[in-house]
Chain A
Amino acid sequence: MVKASDNSTAKLDTELRRGVVVLAVLSQLRTAQYGYSLRQALAERGMPIEEGTLYPLMRRLEGQGLLLSDWRIEDGPPRRYYKLSAKGTRLYAELTDSWHALVATMDKLVD
Chain B
Amino acid sequence: MTKASKSFSILFVAPAFILYTVLVIIPVIFTIYYSMTDWNGISKPDFSGVENYLRLFTSSDYWRVVGNTVKLVILTLLFQVPLGLIFAYLLFKLSWGFKLFRTIYFMPVIIAPIAIGVMFSLFYNGDLGPLNNFLGAVGLEGLQRNWLSDSKIVLYSVIFPQVWQYIGLFVVIMLASLQSIPQELFESAEIDGANSFRVFRSVVIPLMREVILICIILAVTGSLKSFDHAWAISKGGPGSSSSYIAILMYKEAFKNSNFGYASAVTMTIMLYALTFTIISKKVGSKNEVQY
Decide if A and B are genuine partners: no
Chain B residues with a Cβ under 8 A of chain A: none
A contact set with B: CB distance below 8 Å: none
